[in-house]
Chains A and B, each alone.
Chain A
């Protein structure tokens, strides 16, 4: 019954200038409102850049603190869409991603942000890449022997199907979110997102390359997290247990055999050479010391989805998740002590700060807690 609505929604492009068609400007044209509530509302990701701690969340909120989270300042952000990831390549150069496929950049340590890219740009990159592939396959079909033609035509159909999807999405606008970003320095970075979107830049975001096809993800499952582990390898995890590893700083990617079918929401280097923890739905957690070739499950009874983690000190690991879950290990992730915060709010990220304390970021904004996860007075 709602199909007609759907069509009506698609018929009008959302990128028409706000004044002409809509009384309320698009989220991409509405700067985030400065609000005292920003530190108290959803924050999805946090990062440390030198002495500064920054976090990004709903409605284009990016806040930062120079006093270990006691006080927060809100940066100037040109969009007001939910932000999902933030990363700094240097102390002053940082990037944030979010819904509508936005990539934002700052060169003043988070005080002001500029829009580098939107989901429409990414979709156009994807369409261009698919069209190029389609052309290449078409050429191969023309030259291929008859018995190989069938398979190639199947592959071509898949590409056209993907193209149709991309184009109809683009008709609506920048529909799909980016879900995480990672930057190595002020030039090289990787952004991942919904429906297998992956982008890479080597010039500080001046240009982005479409990287999704370099990952072995034919069904375009969501990519949830990208991180580097000690030793230099890059890892992307995502839906359906995906683990992608690059040993050459993003040049090429290999998909690892997964110990788990469900969604993985995070990957965390433990500080040991080539060792990483992956975790996700319902508290599933695995450790690998050989860049994902072999895995060992780590049992915990918490049962809540795990979202993110940090390494406060040598051999220490803290993981956070839904339902106010805070897991702490003092033995290099051999075993975890479980704690559930009274507010039971979802926790999306954790940043260790001095004095064995933590900053927790999530559903209810930022919380200053002790090492266990209990609120500081």
Chain B
């Protein structure tokens, strides 16, 4: 790569010797290239249309982390442990002991029974026969279904029902503590046992919404229905992805308006939009050819590609308008614009792409996919913008109104630029640096609170005020249950998982965990054995212990829930219910388990972390926090190296990169203050923000250097820089901002977080380039030496 000295041609007519090879290649074969592009677009467009949504759970987790390796290895053994739907039917007025309520509950239970994917034998509600009350009598046990045999909805039978419920041990799990709601619990099949088909989460979620919630809330206005469970969450997520289409539309409309306001030229508006969309089409088409689908993360990449395409397209439109205003024809304007911009443009875009590619080092597939998708997209933007865009514009030209807009607004703009050029003034620059230092101090202070992981209650993928999370909060508040489960897998030799030593070890682990802050409760075969041993001894609490007698243990766990023993009795889980899924909580608990495992694991029982949503999150957090430093180093290293290669000056690199660093720190401070953790969704933001944010500095510095080399004073050179590229840079920041700002309204929480942070980074990096870069230049650059060196090089 070379110094952008080629754009000296701005002031003369073009001469063959001044034309770089690339320019000749492109402009001498305009028609052929356009036709080739058309063919490519048709082919990739066909593929882009056929790309499928893909919300695969596995792609969102760090598959190489030992926790996840353990979990996937034992996935079949743990099946159905966590896959269920819980429907809480709440009564609005009065309590559940009403004939109408019980009737609605019965119908919902029946409806669930016939829903596709429900494991009917495990279905539980007050109306199913597996919900019983039991009493110890002199002769043994006595019991029956909770709903009395002769139930007729009369006051007497409702009173009997109340008695049965009190004896049933289901208060807190199936019946809320305040008797104002009950749960219909439906375990789900991952695969339909008859047809072998995988469960269609999206379809199930829709059915729950229509056939359960809407239907029965309409039918009985006195009930409110709350639905939670993995299936419902995934359904809601998939639905959330669909809303992205709206954002795409809004973004395109906003960008079009903005572009027109900026260029006052129909061609200058529509061509960048068109070529940027082409880049998106190529990107999506290629992704499909490479075998990728669209997940909730990569679905955002087209927005970035589009915004990057527009923002660079603007530079070209701007440059062409400036040339056209000087009186050149369309083709010459296009040539001159290309010549002026292909080096900084390519450098900027390559640094974008490389910034994205550093994400590949994070061992989570969605992030890698994101990196590949964004890297591809930016590579295509290089072609569509620097080649296709310029070629189309060379045919169409800037309209007269567009040229006039550039000419008319010159003076007014110049006054503005004149004021802004004071950022490079020796009196203003120190103040700017002081403010920057203050910002740095504040940023460093607040970013101390930056946390890893998801910080909000409930399902972190969805918003705190989403229907799902409200339902989740209702169930957590009214039932003894937690949404955050860490599963420790206890591996034993075959047929040994119920041995006394195993139960004893699990029991010890559980007690240590219950004494760990953040653990709400634990459950395992050990609990089952204790409680059933007590029950078998006439309900006498003095027998609440794991017997050393294996015969008694075997009797006590005969009816243990299926998920607690795998088929060959070689794996049994310890479920740890957590108060939240904050990173500290997860780390504290997993540390405790790991310490226990390293001390007590042997051939009889090995303690393996981890399954359950909290296990996955703990693994993800570990990967994310160790990846963060590496990624930051890489992205800054690559961006600095590229700048160094181009501008051959460490001082230049500092001018460009220091404002980025400030933005990154401020971004982390904002994350800390607004309660956004470092997670799968926000880690890429840092790379994207830096990779794209460096563009502004590159465009500004390349111009600034050029004017300095012409012998202008710093402030004068900066004034000229602003005149020629300031508008485009500001506009770029705004377009990029608009490209991502719509995500803030996404129903998917992490998309909103990404949108918010990227919006900040794109805008603030632009501010940093325009405000802080000249101030740094005042202190760092030595124009005399730069000129001397430039001459020497020639």
Residues on A close to B: CB < 8 A? 2, 4-6, 8-10, 14, 22-24, 27, 30, 33, 35-37, 42, 44, 58-59, 81-82, 84, 99-100, 169, 172-175, 177, 179, 224, 261-263, 265, 281-282, 305, 307, 322-323, 344, 346, 348, 362-363
Contacts of A169 in B (CB 8 A): 549
B499 interface hit (Cβ, 8 Å): yes
A175-B554 CB under 8 A given contacts A22-B501, A23-B604 = no
Q: Are A175 and B137 in contact, CB atoms less than 8 angstroms apart?
A: no
Question: A-B pairs with the 4 shortest C-beta distances?
Answer: A9-B550, A262-B138, A82-B545, A23-B600
Q: How far is the CB of A82 from chain B (nearest CB, A)?
A: 4
Collect the chain A residues with CB atoms within 8 Å of residue B167's CB. 323
CB contacts (< 8 Å) of A42 on chain B: these are: 541, 544
Beta-carbon nearest neighbor of B135 in chain A = A282
Query: Judging by beta carbons under 8 Å apart, are A58 and B545 in contact?
Result: yes
Are B138's CB and A177's CB within 8 A? no
Which of B498, B514, B542 has most A Cβ within 10 Å? B542
CB distance from B609 to the nearest CB of A (A): 17
Q: How far is the CA of A332 from the CA of B548 in the complex (A)?
A: 43
Residues of B with C-beta under 8 A to A172: 548-550
B566 to chain A, nearest CB (A): 16
When A6-B554, A23-B602, A344-B166 are in contact, do A81 and B545 touch as well, CB less than 8 Å? yes
Inter-chain CA distance A233–B413, complex, in Å, is: 109
Residue of B500, B541, B545 near A362 (CB, 8 A) is B541
CA distance A22 to B605 in the complex (A): 10
Q: Nearest Cβ in chain B — how far from A71, in angstroms? A: 19
**25 A–B contacts from the bound complex (CB under 8 Å):** A2-B551, A2-B554, A5-B498, A6-B551, A8-B499, A9-B549, A22-B604, A23-B505, A24-B508, A30-B508, A42-B541, A44-B542, A81-B545, A82-B542, A174-B548, A261-B138, A262-B138, A282-B137, A307-B541, A323-B167, A344-B166, A344-B171, A348-B541, A348-B542, A363-B541
How far is A162 from B790 in the complex, measured between Cα atoms in Å?
Answer: 106
The answer to whether B547 has its CB under 8 Å from any CB of chain A is yes
Q: Known contacts A172-B549, A174-B548; is A281 also within 8 Å of B541 by CB?
A: no
Q: Which residue in A10, A24, A58, A363 is a CB contact (below 8 Å) of B501?
A: A24
Interface majority SS (helix, strand, loop, mixed), chain B: mixed
**Bound CA–CA A201/B312 (angstroms):** 95
Asked whether B538 lies within 8 Å of A59 as measured between CB atoms, the reply is no
> With A5-B495, A23-B605 given, can you name 10 additional A-B contacts, CB distance below 8 Å?
A2-B498, A5-B498, A5-B499, A23-B505, A23-B600, A172-B548, A173-B548, A175-B549, A281-B137, A344-B166
B2 shortest CB reach to chain A, Å: 67
B496 within 8 A of A: yes
Q: Which residues in window 588-623 of B have CB below 8 A to A?
A: 599-602, 604-605
Chain A residues positioned under 8 Å from B166 (CB to CB): 323, 344
A64–B501 CA distance with the chains assembled, in angstroms: 31
Would A99 and B137 be within 8 Å (CB), given that A5-B550, A23-B601, A24-B501 are in contact? no
The CA of A180 and the CA of B36, in the complex, are separated in Å by 93
Known: A23-B601, A42-B541. A281 touches B547 (CB 8 A): no
Given known pairs A59-B511, A172-B549, the reply for A9 and B542 (CB within 8 Å) is no
The listed residue (A44, A262, A263) touching B541 by CB distance below 8 A is A44
Residue in A100, A282, A346 whose beta carbon sits within 8 Å of that of B138 in the complex: A282
User: Which residues of chain B are within 8 angstroms of A100 by Cβ–Cβ distance?
Assistant: 548
Using Cβ atoms and an 8 Å threshold, which residues of chain B touch A348? Answer: 541-542
Q: In the complex, what residues of A have CB within 8 A of residue B599's CB?
A: 23
* Minimum distance in angstroms from B8 CB to a CB of chain A: 78
Residue of A nearest to B163 (CB): A303
Interface residues of B in 526-584 (CB under 8 A from A): 538-545, 547-551, 554
Task: Select which of A4, A175, A282, A322 is within 8 A of B547 by beta carbon.
Answer: A175
Residue contact B540 to A265, C-beta cutoff 8 Å: yes
